[in-house]
A and B are shown apart, each in its own frame.
Chain A
Amino acid sequence: MSERKKILLADDDAAFREINRIILESNGYLVDEADSADAALRKLKSEHFDLLVLDLMMEDRDSGFRVAYALKEDQNLKELPILMLTSAPQKTGFNFRFSEDKDWMKVDSYATKPLDPRELLDRVHKLLK
């Protein structure tokens, strides 16, 4: 790897940030953290990141979507790949239907928490290719 890729972890749960940071760092990535939607947007606008790992439910149940939409409307950031994580499975009646929302494609990958380390790395590799 000629240049180390930089990843931002946006999650309001410190445990998930810590766990994912350890996994990603031990695989050679540079990692930074944000604990809210606003903090994530601030960091993304001031520094360069190659990937955003984004928790769906932070302070609000859809703060993750809010971040994703804001990024896709930003000329400089709309190409940034996003890995969306959530612990809200569809089964419980979560009010979002990916197939019906054309805006959904703005997020590049979607996974249910907790994510197995290999699964996380696999998705990150794909998005960074």
Chain B
Amino acid sequence: MRNTRVLVVDDEEIIRVGCQRILSDMDLQVDGAENGRIGLEKIRENPYDLVLLDLIMPELDGMKLLEKIQAHDPDIVAIIVTGFATIESAVEAMTKGAYDYLPKPFTPEEFRVKVNRGLEKRRLILEARELRRERDRNLLELSNEKTRTHTIVNSMSDGLIVTNCSGQVVLINPVALKMMRLNQKAVIGKTVDDLIHNDGLKNQISETLEKVQKSTNSTTMQIQTRDERFLHSNITPLLDENHNCLGTVTVLRDITEEKKVEKLKSEFVRLVAHELKAPLGAIDGYLNLILEGYISDTLQVDDMIRKSRNKAKALLNLINDLLDLSRTEKTEISKTKTTIDICTILHETVNFFENEAKEKKLDLQFGCDKNLPAIQGIDEEISRLFSNLISNAIKYTPEGGVVSVSAKMNDGYLAVAVQDTGIGISQEDQKNIFEEFYRSNNAVTRKISGTGLGLSIAKKIADNHNGYLELLSEEGKGSTFRVFLPVKKD
């Protein structure tokens, strides 16, 4: 603890010095001031516990100084020391906040008693001040804690409903209000039965309350709201330490998006299953015909075996495409992009298809602008993207046609066009052409085998590279697929 500091303000040097000596002997830190003005200056500069002051002084008298001390810090204890002590001046000083007075002349013993009482007073004042501060701090913390909990509950992304033991709602956060389509004002104090329309959730909360003494397990369930959203609910009984029922806590989580993904996934699985089953079913059918003697002609048997083999090949292609599709979806995690020169990749890819084009008597052209900037990408994906487009162009272009591949800059993007003079794609089919397993169905396309995944894979790869795919096509005249890829920025 710091030293107790005392100031003696008196214009009579003998008294001032005498007092200072007594105070020093009492182990107090003492200062002196020979008039009111200097006294006030010292008080403003130092933290005094006790001030002894004379009433009659030049420049600033004791009464005025007392007022200034009070204004500066009312907790400083002031004791009046005066040779002209009258009842009147003493009373006046007391009403202005002096704690005590000591008439001159006084003995050192009288002085010490007054000073000790004054210091005791000061100690009590400081103690009280500390207690008050502590109380204020506690109150602040308490209200902070309340605000904090409130803020946490209100900013949760999950819905929260707390009921008491009779099923009345005692706390509900805005998310839960929204999920349950409730209005804040009309909620608190009402029972779950009145408020919640969803029977499943209502019953679950009631049941939890009924068996709250027996089971402390929380229960989970899925509910569907009136506005077609799916919620996952977790209801926990609340008990105090003596196992008395306090109520229930219900946490609601919106799982509508997860449900949608789930649905898309099972839709996709169903499609895949259908696509996988068809060729296998055909193979099974052909083998049945052969084994059960429906056909005996060797040529016919050969034909069926060949058809079975083609189906098996188609199945293998499909499985490869499916693997590619799932690979393109995992790009972010498993693969790092490198700097790619597009012309090199295009050249290699076009070369790969040269024989196939020649067999179909197609003119396969290739052109790449000079000094094209590099792109950031996954080598094998980019080459897969263009193989898919070129292979399609060759497949859907009749003999004697032209397939051309060209690359140039376009508006900050690298633009690669794969153009053909093939059968084209109808307006109707253009809408769905990038969907998985979508295939144009007409007299020509039916004879061409395909997995229906090539273009969706191409589109996914373009997406993975922050690019996009564009289609221009007219039935009977041909199609142009244009791939736009962002160039690497240095």
- B108 to nearest A CB, angstroms? 103
Cβ–Cβ < 8 Å partners of A114 in chain B: 277, 280-282, 284-285
Cβ–Cβ < 8 Å partners of B446 in chain A: 12, 14, 35
Cβ–Cβ < 8 Å partners of B269 in chain A: 92-93
> Majority SS of interface residues in chain A?
loop
C-alpha gap A36/B441 in the complex (Å) = 10
Give chain A interface residues in 1-34, CB to chain B under 8 Å: 12-16, 19-20, 22-23, 26
Contact with A along B473-484 (1 / 0, CB 8 A): 000000000000
A89 touches which of B273, B278, B279, B307 (Cβ 8 Å): B273
B294 touches which of A16, A92, A117 (Cβ 8 Å): A117
Known contacts A12-B441, A19-B286, A22-B294: does B281 contact A87 (CB below 8 Å)?
A: yes
C-alpha gap A33/B456 in the complex (Å) = 32
Give chain A interface residues in 38-56, CB to chain B under 8 Å: none
Q: Are B270 and A16 in contact (CB under 8 A)?
A: no
Q: Are B270 and A19 in contact (CB under 8 A)?
A: no
B289 interfacial by beta-carbon distance below 8 Å = yes
A98 interfacial by beta-carbon distance below 8 Å = no
C-alpha gap A32/B277 in the complex (Å) = 24
Interface size for A (C-beta < 8 A) is 24
- B289 to nearest A CB, angstroms? 6
Cβ–Cβ < 8 Å partners of A16 in chain B: 281-282, 285
What would 11 A/B residue contacts be, using CB atoms closer than 8 Å? A13-B282, A15-B286, A19-B282, A19-B285, A22-B295, A26-B294, A57-B274, A89-B273, A113-B281, A114-B280, A114-B281
Mark B residues whose CB is within 8 Å of A. 266-267, 269-270, 273-274, 277-282, 284-286, 288-289, 292, 294-295, 307, 311, 441, 446
Known contacts A23-B294, A89-B273: does B278 contact A117 (CB below 8 Å)?
A: no
C-alpha gap A16/B311 in the complex (Å) = 12
A116 interfacial by beta-carbon distance below 8 Å = yes
Cβ–Cβ < 8 Å partners of B279 in chain A: 15
Cβ–Cβ < 8 Å partners of B274 in chain A: 57, 87-88
What residue in chain B is nearest A89 (Cβ atoms)?
A: B273
Q: How many A-B residue pairs have CB under 8 A?
A: 61
Q: Are A117 and B281 in contact (CB under 8 A)?
A: no
Q: Are B273 and A59 in contact (CB under 8 A)?
A: no
Q: Are A93 and B266 in contact (CB under 8 A)?
A: yes
- A81 to nearest B CB, angstroms? 22
- A58 to nearest B CB, angstroms? 8
Cβ–Cβ < 8 Å partners of A93 in chain B: 266-267, 269-270
Cβ–Cβ < 8 Å partners of A89 in chain B: 273
C-alpha gap A88/B281 in the complex (Å) = 12
Contact with B along A91-119 (1 / 0, CB 8 A): 01110000000000000000001101100
C-alpha gap A87/B276 in the complex (Å) = 10
B285 touches which of A15, A26, A57, A94 (Cβ 8 Å): A15
What residue in chain A is nearest B447 (Cβ atoms)?
A: A14
- A53 to nearest B CB, angstroms? 13
Cβ–Cβ < 8 Å partners of A13 in chain B: 278, 282
B277 touches which of A20, A23, A26, A113 (Cβ 8 Å): A113
- A97 to nearest B CB, angstroms? 15
Q: Are B266 and A23 in contact (CB under 8 A)?
A: no
C-alpha gap A26/B297 in the complex (Å) = 14
Known contacts A23-B289, A116-B288, A117-B292: does B282 contact A94 (CB below 8 Å)?
A: no
Cβ–Cβ < 8 Å partners of A12 in chain B: 441, 446
Q: Are A15 and B311 in contact (CB under 8 A)?
A: yes
- B238 to nearest A CB, angstroms? 39
Cβ–Cβ < 8 Å partners of A26 in chain B: 294
C-alpha gap A57/B275 in the complex (Å) = 11
Cβ–Cβ < 8 Å partners of A35 in chain B: 446
- A35 to nearest B CB, angstroms? 7
Cβ–Cβ < 8 Å partners of B307 in chain A: 15
C-alpha gap A13/B266 in the complex (Å) = 24
Interface centre among A23, A36, A87 (most CB of B within 10 A): A87
C-alpha gap A114/B287 in the complex (Å) = 12
What residue in chain B is nearest A14 (Cβ atoms)?
A: B446
